[in-house]
Amino acid sequence: MSESQVSTTAESLDRVSDAGDGRATSPSPARRRPRRRKASWRERVEISLLSGPAIIIFLTFVILPVGMAAYYGFFDWHGYGPATDFVGLRNYKVILSDPEFRAAVRHNAEIVVLSLLIQGPIAVLLALLLNRKMRGRSLIRVLVFAPWVVSEVIAGTGWSLMLPVQGAVNALLTKMQIFGEVKIDWLGNPDLALWTLMGILTWKYIGFAVILLMAGLQNIPEELSEAAGVDGASYWQIQRHITLPLLGPTIRIWAFLSIIGALQLFDLVYIIWGQYVAGVAGTSTMATYMVLNGRNAGNYGYGNAVAVVIFLISLIVALGYQRFVLRRDMVGALTEGA
Amino acid sequence: MASAVLDTPRRQRKRPKSSVGWGSPATYFVALVVIALTIAPIVYIVLGGFRTNSQITVDPAGMPHPWVWSNYTGVLTSSTFWTEFGNSTLVAGVTTIGVVVIGLMASYVLARYQFRGRGFMFALFSAGLMFPITVAITPLFLLLKDLGLLNSPVGVILPQVGFALPTTIIILVPFLRAIPREIEEAATVDGCGRIAFFFRMVVPLSLPGVLTVGILAFVASWNSYLLPLFILSDPHTFTLPLGVQVFSSQYSTDTAKVLAFTSLSMLPALLFFTAFERRIVGGLSGAVKG
């Protein structure tokens, strides 16, 4: 059997299972197969050999650091020698009463909400658009995804060169001769900077949302919209009443990832607004606050405490989201299966 | 054979109306506007590299006139660029291989073995999605310092593999679970052990998913900034994102050169992604089934 044959078999097998069981696949590993006998000795060796490396690396470099942060967060510690100066909850009291941190939290909250409100509708429309059969579709796709593939550093460097008062954006707007000579301070004006940041974030991450949604669209059987089309439904009726509801689970997964990403936002702000300007311009985030007051200030105990606060906030938001939003998907899966 | 029969109806059947029906020109118009907005900044960076600083100052939004090659040739002949290019390639390459190999093995266990603690293991890795590197970076720096891995590519690679595992496993497990039981049973009847089955059947059959996670890991590593920023302080170990940042503050007056450096460093990830874009959408569809 040649390699190409194998891969086409694989694809078609995927499709068979797509068509067969629809949704229940990912969240519930246990349901798929009846429970077999207890794992034999040989199986146990295989399990540990195959999953061992992943577990070790994951525990060491992902879980352990979070635990370490919780430990060091209780110390006044500047990174030299062992941490001995136990200060209890003092770091946390300082963080929570620092107006700069509160401002950062507020910015993060605004970014979370605005990301969902701005990117969500645009991404759905773009995914529907790119899902249509049209000439040059694959080229259009690649171009729309390009900003997502470009690194934050490059995007940040590019935008910070384009957005100054004397930069290319204002020059371009001036050239259009609609607004006269444009001298907008996109980055420095505190009333505007957050919106500038939202524009850049939308530009940068819309491609990811579109990719996810297009992947979700692939799982919606064409037969449904075909049938609706035969029954006389218009294109927009089909999207509104068939595609969109079926795309719901994908949209909710994207929203989850977007929320988590917005809470952790660092790179673009740090690069475009630098270490010190972000606070003044009103674009500082919890993560830039952490790097500025932790590592850059050599105050590692404090930085770790900030990390713990960010983690707890993200965890509460994530668990709340899973509890109240994602749960609906599982309920749907159960009732549909019945 | 079965595959051919199953393939045809889905691939060749067209939606009755969409290709001819509702306002094709309007669709193209929207697409063009969107494309203009998305690629304008990238075009600005690339074209800016072909201009001189005085051109950029006089007319920030203009075209190169005349076209200048010296910025690009200057970057391409500098050893800084190639050292950083090599570092980025090494880090991204090893990260990708590591994520794919280790992630595939773990996903195989999660997808096809029955054992106590499997649900917990899956939940643990999924929870990793909530632990972005931002939260762990300060202690991670301290940990790597204790391990003597600062200023070493290994110190960037290992954490990157760790943080890429959740996505990898979430994408790959549905793929591996979709391999029908019958194939495995047939292989067992033919005297094929579980491990042999893994290499002979699972690896080739999960290729679409493997490509997806591989590309995602490569692009993420190629672009990663925060981790190298903390771990690498010796300029000889810098990856391209660090290099771009240092370069742009070092030559802050030489905008044209910064733009040339920037556009050359984004090229590999863009090409890589363009080549495999279709595969990514296909590979993700297993994971977003909901």
- From residue A115, alpha-carbon distances to A256, A259, B238 in Å are 11, 8, 32
Provide mean pLDDT across the span A166-187.
77
Burial of A179 (0-12, 13-18, 19+ CB in 10 A): exposed
User: How high does pLDDT run on average in chain B?
Assistant: 79
CA A94 to CA A92: how far, in whole Å?
Answer: 5
With an 8 Å Cβ cutoff, is B218 touching chain A? no
Q: Are residues B112 and B274 in contact, defined by beta-carbon separation less than 8 angstroms?
A: no
pLDDT at position A295 = 79
Nearest-CB residue to B102 (from A57, A129, A162): A57
With an 8 Å Cβ cutoff, is B205 touching chain A? yes
Using a pLDDT cut of 70, give the percent of chain A over it: 83
Q: Name the residue with higher pLDDT: A247 or A105.
A: A105
Helix and strand totals (H; E) in chain B: 15, 0
DSSP string, A273-332: HHHHHHHHHT---HHHHHHHHTTTTT-HHHHHHHHHHHHHHHHHHHHHHIIIIIHHHHHH
Contact B177 A47 (CB under 8 A): no
With an 8 Å Cβ cutoff, is B15 touching chain A? yes
Alpha helical stretches, state H, B113-128: 118-127
pLDDT at position A327 = 63
Minimal C-alpha gap between A263 and chain B (Å): 10
Contact A62 B128 (CB under 8 A): yes
Provide mean pLDDT across the span B205-211.
80
- Locate the DSSP E strands across chain B: none
Provide mean pLDDT across the span A253-263.
86
With an 8 Å Cβ cutoff, is A2 touching chain B? no
pLDDT at position B289 = 55
pLDDT at position B21 = 44
CA A217 to CA A232: how far, in whole Å?
Answer: 22
Q: Which of A138-142, A291-295, B73-77, B100-104 has the least mean pLDDT? A: A138-142
pLDDT at position A21 = 38
pLDDT value at B10 more than 90: no
The DSSP code for A338 is -
Q: How many CB atoms lie within 10 A of CB A80?
A: 8
Is the model's pTM score more than 0.90? no
pLDDT at position A276 = 66
pLDDT value at A27 more than 70: no
- When pLDDT is cut at 50, 70 and 90, the band that residue A18 belongs to is very low
Minimal C-alpha gap between A150 and chain B (Å): 6
Q: How many residue pairs bridge chain A and chain B with CB atoms within 8 Å of each other?
A: 367
Using a pLDDT cut of 70, give the percent of chain B over it: 89
CA A237 to CA A243: how far, in whole Å?
Answer: 9
pLDDT value at B196 more than 60: yes
* Structure-token pair, residue B16: 């009755």
Q: Which of A322-336, B59-73, B196-210 has the least mean pLDDT? A: A322-336
pLDDT at position A117 = 93
> What is the value of ipTM here, to two decimals?
0.79
Contact A153 B244 (CB under 8 A): yes
The DSSP code for B199 is I
Taking only residues 174 to 203 of chain A, the set having a beta carbon closer than 8 angstroms to any beta carbon of chain B reads 175, 203
Per residue in B162-171, pLDDT (tens digit) is: 988 988 888 8
pLDDT at position B214 = 86
Contact B105 A143 (CB under 8 A): no
- What is the fold, at CATH topology level, of the domain defined by A91-155+199-337? MetI-like fold (1.10.3720)
Taking CA atoms, what residue in B is nearest to A222?
B15
Provide mean pLDDT across the span B216-236.
86
Task: State which amino acid sits at residue B252.
Answer: S
pLDDT at position B67 = 84
pLDDT at position A207 = 86
Per residue in B25-66, pLDDT (tens digit) is: 777 788 888 888 888 888 888 888 788 777 777 777 777 778
pLDDT value at A44 more than 50: yes
Provide mean pLDDT across the span A182-191.
78
Contacts of B115 in chain A (CB under 8 A): 39, 43-44, 47
pLDDT value at B16 more than 50: no
Q: Name the residue with higher pLDDT: A285 or A228.
A: A285
Q: Are residues A299 and A293 in contact, defined by beta-carbon separation less than 8 angstroms?
A: yes
Q: Which of A124-133, B14-23, B183-192 has the least mean pLDDT? A: B14-23
Q: Are residues A212 and A253 in contact, defined by beta-carbon separation less than 8 angstroms?
A: yes
pLDDT at position A11 = 38
Domains and CATH numbers, chain B: 93-238+266-284 (1.10.3720.10)
Q: Are residues B206 and B104 in contact, defined by beta-carbon separation less than 8 angstroms?
A: yes
pLDDT at position A6 = 37
User: Quick one: which of A240, A238, A241 has its CA closest to A226?
Assistant: A238
pLDDT value at A2 more than 50: no
Q: Which of A7-16, A71-80, A284-293 has the least mean pLDDT? A: A7-16
* Structure-token pair, residue B171: 């994408």
Q: How many CB atoms lie within 10 A of CB B264?
A: 19
Per residue in B255-276, pLDDT (tens digit) is: 888 888 888 888 888 887 788 7
The DSSP code for B235 is G
Burial of B87 (0-12, 13-18, 19+ CB in 10 A): buried
pLDDT value at B99 more than 90: yes
Residue A261, beta-bridge partner list: none
pLDDT value at A79 more than 80: no
Taking CA atoms, what residue in A is nearest to B289?
A23
